[in-house]
Amino acid sequence: MLAMNYRGPKRVRIDQKPIPEILHPEDAIVRVVRSCICGSDLHLYNGNVPDTRVGSTFGHEFVGIVEEIGSDVHKLKVGDKVIVPFNISCGRCAFCKQELYGNCHESNSQATAVGGIFGYSHTAGGYNGGQAEYVRVPYADVGPTIIPEGMDWDDAVLLTDVVPTGYQAAEMAGIQKGDTVVIFGAGPIGIMAARCSWLFGAGRVIIIDKEDYRLEFARNYSQCEAYNFMDMEDPVVFVKKTTDWMGADVCIDAVGAEAAGNVLQTITGRKLLLQAGSATALHWAINSVKKGGIVSIVGVYGPTDNLVPIGNVVNKGLTIRANQASVKRLLPRLIDHVQNGIIKPKQLITHRVPLEEVADAYRMFSEKLDNCIKPVLIPPTAHA
């Protein structure tokens, strides 16, 4: 089959690989109809995630058709069209039982923080991902959810990550009626978090990025204010000033380890890898939220981070909430929101690219070319 193949930092290509097989009675094989490239894939692509092995296939956002099932799969049948959450969860460990499906203990038993994730390095379990024609899906009775009648593939594929992560960012922020929410990052995740902040009763939603085309997109899609931090002397002062010097009620970090905007952070975090990514957006979030405020983090960082103003977290009495999105927990309510037209995910898709051109798609998304917000890869075997 055709599959994306990681060759080293900033080098990916399309290759032939064997079609995956059932390895465990609870596995299914899914024929991929749509997969996406995510901001999280850029951390892998740029070589910033430990133990990303040459030869692996990325892709944690995919939907498709069940091609084959193991002998112990009971809820799926061959031919079912499924949304596959990006987290791999066993459904029975102590964490899955608390609906912390992003922290499953069994799907990535060598780790103490994150659970298994499709196509996300051996740090996240070493599973191959869905930027391919076929993918092996473990615990097939747990994660995969049948695509409801009438929902198309494009909406469905954004329910594997972008919609739940944006929604959970707003949910973890504990937004109260009338709150001012400031979101750092106008990628698909930040744009979706802005859209969802209104659902929790926000009174004012502000998004901050450096790409004008993304800010423009956010203004239209999320109906929020959007500002370019390159035009600001200091984003923290900007937020203070626009909130009567109180600070935002809530800040959301939807940027993570690749943040721009601070030379020291960029050099130590992204170039020299002395710390696990640049913590610029997180730094701004902590300093521009009000005292007693909440910081919600969905941007991804490596295991340690040492250039964060942790002293200010203590002195301001902040609540910081963070996690990988628990996709399975959120899917039922988000499917309702999509069916009722409250969230329109597929409007984020700006590019549809044949899987064969995966290398070009990575370059375009990574370098923010051609006004790209969200690229979708379509395998030749999709024909659906």
Measure CA of the first residue to CA of the last residue in the chain; give whole Å. Answer: 17
Instruction: List the one residue from 187, 269, 293, 345 that touches ligand NAD (CB under 6 A).
Output: 187
30 near 76, Cβ under 8 Å? no
Q: Which of 299, 345, 375, 379 binds ligand NAD (CB under 6 A)?
A: 299
Told to check if 224 binds ligand NAD by CB under 6 A, we report no
Find the shortest distance in angstroms from Cβ 41 to ligand NAD: 8
CB of 277 to ligand NAD, least distance (A): 9
Residue 104's binding partner among Zn ion, ligand NAD, none (Cβ under 5 to 8 angstroms by kind) is Zn ion
Kindly give the interhelix angle for 162-172 and 327-339, rounded to the nearest 10 degrees: 100
3-state secondary structure of 272: coil
Q: In the chain, count of helices (H) and strands (E)?
A: 12, 17
| Span near ligand NAD by CB under 6 A; candidates 10-18, 72-80, 207-215, 354-362 | 207-215
Q: Which of 317, 307, 213, 295 shows the shortest CA–CA distance to 249?
A: 295
Residue 27 sits in the site that holds Zn ion (CB under 5 A): no
Q: How far apart are CA 44 and CA 121, in angstroms?
A: 8
Stretch near Zn ion under the rule CB under 5 A, chosen from 105-113, 232-240, 252-260, 285-293: 105-113
Where helices occur in 243-309 by DSSP H, the ranges are 263-265, 280-288
Name the burial class of residue 240, with classes exposed (0-12), middle (13-18) and buried (19+) by CB atoms within 10 angstroms of its CB.
middle
**Contact 342/199 with Cβ under 8 angstroms?**
yes
- CA gap 292, 309 in Å, rounded: 15
Which residue, 37 or 73, has its beta carbon nearer to ligand NAD?
37
Looking at 20, 39, 115, 375, which residue binds ligand NAD (CB under 6 A)?
39
DSSP string, 97-112: HTT-GGG-SSTTTT-S
Task: Please say which residue, 1 or 330, places its beta carbon nearer to ligand NAD.
Answer: 330
Q: Which of 2, 29, 63, 96 binds Zn ion (CB under 5 A)?
A: 96
116 makes contact with ligand NAD (CB under 6 A):
no
Distance CA 323, CA 102 (A): 8
Contacted by 93, from ligand NAD, Zn ion, none: CB < 5 to 8 Å by type: Zn ion
Residue 90's binding partner among Zn ion, ligand NAD, none (Cβ under 5 to 8 angstroms by kind) is Zn ion
- Told to check if 161 binds ligand NAD by CB under 6 A, we report yes
At 286, list the tokens: 């902590």
Residues that bind Zn ion (CB under 5 A): 38, 40, 61, 89-90, 93, 96, 104, 106, 161
Residues that bind ligand NAD (CB under 6 A): 38-40, 42-43, 161, 165, 184-190, 208-211, 214, 229, 254-256, 259-261, 280-281, 298-300, 324-325
